[in-house]
A and B are shown apart, each in its own frame.
Chain A
Amino acid sequence: MTATSLGTRRRDAAANPAVRARWILVTLGALLLAVMCAYVMLGPVIFGPDQVWKALINQADEVFHRISVWEVRVPRVLIAALAGAMLACSGAFLQSVLRNPLAAPATVGVTQGAVLGAVLALAISYGTEGAMDDLNAFVPMAAIAGGLIAGGLVYALSYRRAGTDPIRMILTGVIVAAAVSSVTSFIVLVSGSTIDSIVRWLVGSLGTRTWDHLIFLVPVAVLILPLVVMVIPLANALQLGDATSVSLGLRTEVARGIILMTAVVLAAGSISVVGGIAFLGLIAPHLARTLVGSDLRRLLVCSALVGAIILVSADLLARVFSLDWIPFWEIQTESGSRVPVGAFTALVGAPFFLYLMRERMR
């Protein structure tokens, strides 16, 4: 084999997105692990790796180490990673299947539906015996139901004799999202006093999230995973357009329905635990697409990793900014976390998304 052919081959391997994607995914995986470790170590009290380890195996030097690591930071970081990944996967599916770069859980009404479900549950139970706070499993369930109903409503409203059409679906989604949001606002106004926990649902927060929430989130993720794997080839075919996917032997309407349902469950499940985190479901798939391209076999894994990294890092930053070292920063709520992570992603997400769109639409 000559030197040139070796060189060509190496260049080919570098150009091959499948090969490049492998390295990108490994790197992202390592990065996720790194931010998750940082997340567990950093906080009001900074732990070294040895202290974290001791706390994990229940031999902490002091009791509060164990509580801080095992009861607070570990479940919260796991929730952040899982919820971020699910939200990003949902966005990736929606963008591919609706063939629209603006498609995301929040633009098809799923986010608003899930938030309405949660807010409704909180408002109804307010003032009753053992009033529900976020710790009750009834709230996530109401949220997931709200997301599913909103998703189903958008699908049904955009359905015509010939089936659904991506553009009609996005437009319907935007309208349903706006309508549902106004219902939520109304309920918030009427119910008055539960503002604090409701606001955290509206903007999305990981404050006070514990093992109880993770135990709710994990089954949703585990149940939906086989479906996610199964619909990847369908979504790959469907993103080539309806005519081409029929040519390839896809029952387009059935496939679109199944994929959308998968996306809705992913988003609703995620939102039911962390609330309506802004922009994540929109930005993570975009970033992933610039890294590994549009083939969903790679795009989906990459979106999941990017989504997890973003939400873990954002919540880490939100926690850091909530510390006392900034003297004029006195946002304090009844719960521990002062800046909800959703406020952070919204603040950073909007300009970043604008930048991303400008770059890609050159």
Chain B
Amino acid sequence: MTEKQPMKSDPAFTTDQISTGYGSHVVSHRLSITIEHGTRTALVGPNGSGKSTTLKTLARLIAPLRGAVYLSGQDINRLPTRQVARQMAILPQVHEVPAELTVMELVEQGRFPHVGALGMLRRRDDEAIQDAIRMTRLSEFIHRPIDTLSGGERQRAWMALALSQQTDILLLDEPTTFLDVGHQLDLLELVSGLNRDRGVTIVMVLHDLNHAARFSDRMVALSGGDVVADGTPAEVLTPRLLRDCFGVDASVVADPNTDSPMCIPHSPIFSGDEENATNG
């Protein structure tokens, strides 16, 4: 192996005053964010707050307009993309499913960054694939075409693809959006288990604030492309944030089982100013 081992002391991600956006549409100016190895970070914020854009920039799906994203101390857009893929996997928000592709055929693709030019799978690859299928409990579905699976099973199949990549970092863009509450919890438990048992660094965009509070160590709230709150769920999830950032009147109580903060939204507060901020 010639590739440079990442320094353990370097954070998983640092961004140096990056501007992000699409072409001429700038979403964030001078965003600086650091994410330590082995942590679970939830990016939250209202629609259009730049949370997905930030995640995509960390994931190198879009390049920052200015500044750079450092993955374990190295500029992610200058590293060979295959090398990055061995350190970091992404679960995108929307997926393209080729007709008739089976779960097994999908999960096998997770080995792409690890295999040679001809894509031949070796024993180590088979083990990684089997492990990913076991963790996502897909054993009975491996030969089923993905488009015949239910929404929950389908998301587990994409999760298995990311897992078979065997990376230290996993980025998830609204992974629970199209799932019912049972499958949402199931997926978030799986993600937390990865962090707990294997030390995988998790960065995820979540819409559900209570899930974010319960399944992360750190919440970063964005609004209009800026970080407006950053800290433990208890520090971030406050009535004040809900009012200023999301424009809702809400109370925050402790979850009776897990003790994590839980918000109960009551009613939206609309002012012209607020609306402009959230649509930006």
* A contact set with B: CB distance below 8 Å: 12, 15-17, 96, 99, 101, 161-162, 229-230, 232-233, 236-237, 239-241, 243-244, 246-251, 289-290, 293-295, 297, 360
Contacts and interface: CB of A to CB of B under 8 A. Distances in A.
Given A246-B60, A289-B99, A232 B119 contact: yes
A184 to B, nearest CB: 33
**Nearest 4 pairs of A and B residues by beta carbon:** A249-B85, A233-B119, A241-B96, A243-B92
A243 B61 CA distance: 6
A12 B143 CA distance: 8
Among A236, A237, A249, A294, residue most surrounded by chain B Cβ atoms (within 10 Å): A249
Contacts of A241: 92, 94-96
A249 B111 CA distance: 10
Nearest to B96: A241
B76 to A, nearest CB: 11
A69 B46 CA distance: 74
Given A233-B112, A237-B112, A240-B106, A251 B81 contact: yes
Contacts of A251: 81
B96 A289 contact: no
B59 interface: yes
A213 to B, nearest CB: 32
A12 B144 CA distance: 11
Given A241-B92, A293-B145, A246 B119 contact: no
A126 to B, nearest CB: 46
A294 B100 contact: yes
Nearest to B119: A233
Interface of B: 23, 59-61, 81-86, 88-102, 104-106, 109-110, 112-113, 115, 117-119, 143, 145, 158, 161-162, 165
A229 to B, nearest CB: 7
Contact of A244 (B88, B92, B102, B118): B92
A162 B23 contact: yes
Given A229-B118, A247-B59, A249-B86, 5 more contacts: A99-B96, A236-B109, A239-B96, A248-B110, A251-B81
Contacts of B99: 101, 289, 294, 360
B102 A250 contact: no
Contacts of A15: 143
A101 to B, nearest CB: 8
A338 B83 CA distance: 58
22 contacts: A17-B105, A17-B143, A96-B98, A99-B98, A230-B117, A233-B118, A236-B112, A246-B60, A246-B90, A248-B85, A248-B113, A249-B81, A249-B82, A249-B84, A249-B112, A250-B112, A290-B100, A293-B102, A293-B145, A294-B99, A294-B100, A297-B119
Contacts of A248: 85, 109-110, 112-113, 165
A161 to B, nearest CB: 7
A243 B161 CA distance: 13
Contacts of B94: 241, 243
A244 B113 contact: no
Contacts of B112: 233, 236-237, 248-250
Contacts of B100: 289-290, 293-294
Contact of A230 (B82, B92, B93, B118): B118
